[in-house]
Structure 1
Amino acid sequence: MLDARRLQTNLRVPVDGIIGAGTLTALFARMGAAPAIAAELGLAANVHFRTYGILDTGLRLAHFMGQCGHESGSFRYMEEIASGADYEGRADLGNTQPGDGRRYKGRGPIQTTGRANYRRDGRTLGIDLESNPHLLSIPSLGLLASTLFWSRMGLNAYADQDNGVACSRGVNRGNPKSDKPANHEADRIALTAKAKGLIL
């Protein structure tokens, strides 16, 4: 169970026991988001975190914030800084056409990457992300896709176990049970610990 009053006390926001956009905005800000991005993410999270069960427990929220905090440079970047050229020709990401690497580079808090993921998420959400990949750079839409990915990978269950390794590998390797460590696994777990300090 998520202790709303503890979270609000830790964030130094009004303590009313009700988590809403204001509390979530403050959380994104404390994790590094600039004010405008924090406000948009907080508004979107107030809806999508409920839809995908991320607000059900403090551990779920902490692991989501830690993983996305790593992927997005502490919620400062909604589009990957690198060009995306490294993803060119990656059939495992569905990048089969020339230019797909740059076109479908990482976007949103969880850095959705690859034509196949843009197509699948777009079809699920009813948004043509394959034709309009730049839409995931909008913080609110990027957060929606991030929560969908988190749910599709079954990461709430691993967060409930406080399994930062599985959450890291689910996000970065596309498989929570991968034998290969996630890129920057230690930083992901450290950012999750920072989030726990604010939430738990």
Structure 2
Amino acid sequence: MKNTDPLAKHPLSAKYQNLFTKFAVNTPLRLAHFFGQAAHESNLKPRVENLNYSVEALLSKFGRHRISEVDARKLGRIRTQLANQEMLANILYGGSWGLKNLGNKTFGDGWKYRGRGIFQITGLSNYWGLTKYVQEVLGLNVDYVENPDLLLNEADSLIAALWYWQMKKLNSYADKDQGLKISRGINIGNPDTEKIPNHAEDRKVKTEKFKKVFS
């Protein structure tokens, strides 16, 4: 008899069936939207954030409240040098902006808690929230605050992505096939913002691909 369980239709969801079931990401639409976003963010592989920004990208992508023109030109990538990624992370994810938006408290937190995993979990508050959840709810003896590189492991990265998905209540948007809201939740952190997420079209294309996989 043909297996009609949607979780069995992709190697990753089949391998971690219990996890996907625990987080209720187990219907064709929920799986399609989750995998579509994950495919765009990291090609379904745990990754660490690349901050090798060019000077031009720093000046256009980030406001002067995040990085000064002087620092952008000193630290950004140019033809003869790579970007100083550690310093950029500490500047871009630090200061009052980093404290308010990411919970980063001290200089160095920006680099230590830069994006990692399938969905690029970023910032001390997210690493702390994830740690609290896995310890208290899942009963796992892990600490992502102390060991952030654990998110480069496949299982930990998937737990983090599913936790973030649940925290942003993205199942409810997947059930309504509201891909743009999900893209906003993943890329901007707020499904209800009016801002346009980065690479919205590619996210949509990849989600449509996974609708066929999980149908």
TM-score interval w.r.t. the shorter chain?
A: 0.7 to 0.9
SS of aligned partner of 1:118: helix
Q: What is the alpha-carbon distance in structure 2 between the residues aligned to residue 161 and residue 18 of structure 1?
A: 20
Q: What is the alpha-carbon distance in structure 1 between the residues aligned to residue 108 and residue 123 of structure 2?
A: 11
Q: 1:101 is aligned with what amino acid? A: G
Whether the 8 Å contact between 1:78 and 1:138 is mirrored in structure 2 is no
Q: Which has the larger radius of gyration?
A: 2
Give the CA deviation at 1:16.
3.1
1:12 counterpart residue number: none
Give the CA deviation at 1:81.
2.9
Whether the 8 Å contact between 1:108 and 1:146 is mirrored in structure 2 is yes
Whether the 8 Å contact between 2:104 and 2:123 is mirrored in structure 1 is yes
Whether the 8 Å contact between 1:78 and 1:139 is mirrored in structure 2 is no
Q: What is the alpha-carbon distance in structure 2 between the residues aligned to residue 66 and residue 125 of structure 1?
A: 24
SS of aligned partner of 1:150: helix
Q: 1:140 is aligned with what amino acid? A: A
Tell me: CA distance 1:78–1:149, structure 2 relative to 1, closer, same or farther (3 Å). same
Please say if 1:158 is aligned against 2:144.
Answer: no
Give the CA deviation at 1:193.
1.0
SS of aligned partner of 1:110: coil
Please say if 1:113 is aligned against 2:122.
Answer: yes
Please say if 1:24 is aligned against 2:24.
Answer: no
2:20 counterpart residue number: 49
Report % sequence identity: 37
Q: What is the alpha-carbon distance in structure 2 between the residues aligned to residue 159 and residue 19 of structure 1?
A: 15
1:146 counterpart residue number: 161
Give the CA deviation at 1:174.
1.2
Give the CA deviation at 1:18.
4.5
Indicate the structure whose relative CO is greater, using CA pairs within 8 Å and at least 6 residues apart.
2
Q: Which consecutive residues of structure 1, in runs of 5 or more, have no partner in the other structure?
A: 6-14, 29-40
Between 1:91-100 and 1:147-156, the stretch displaced more is 91-100
Q: 1:165 is aligned with what amino acid? A: L
Give the CA deviation at 1:138.
0.5
Q: What is the alpha-carbon distance in structure 1 between the residues aligned to residue 22 and residue 106 of structure 2?
A: 34
Q: What is the alpha-carbon distance in structure 2 between the residues aligned to residue 115 and residue 128 of structure 1?
A: 12
Please say if 1:123 is aligned against 2:132.
Answer: yes
Q: 1:175 is aligned with what amino acid? A: N
What is the correspondence of 1:56-71 to structure 2 with a 5 Å cutoff? 57-71=27-41
2:103 counterpart residue number: 94
Give the CA deviation at 1:48.
1.1
* 2:150 counterpart (111, 135, 141): 135
2:183 counterpart residue number: 168
Between 1:137-146 and 1:182-191, the stretch displaced more is 182-191
TM-score, normalising length from structure 2? Answer: 0.72
1:75 counterpart residue number: 44
What is the CA deviation profile of residues 60-95 of structure 1, one whole-angstrom value per residue up to 9, with x for unaligned ones? 0000001111111x1244222334614344221112
Cα-Cα RMSD: 2.0
What is the CA deviation profile of residues 159-199 of structure 1, one whole-angstrom value per residue up to 9, with x for unaligned ones? 00000011001111111101111111111111111111222
Tell me: CA distance 1:196–1:19, structure 2 relative to 1, closer, same or farther (3 Å). closer
Whether the 8 Å contact between 2:36 and 2:209 is mirrored in structure 1 is yes
What is the CA deviation profile of residues 12-55 of structure 1, one whole-angstrom value per residue up to 9, with x for unaligned ones? xxx433466x6431xx5xxxxxxxxxxxx752x31211001111
Whether the 8 Å contact between 2:9 and 2:214 is mirrored in structure 1 is no
Q: 2:214 is aligned with what amino acid? A: I
* 1:103 counterpart (109, 112, 126): 112
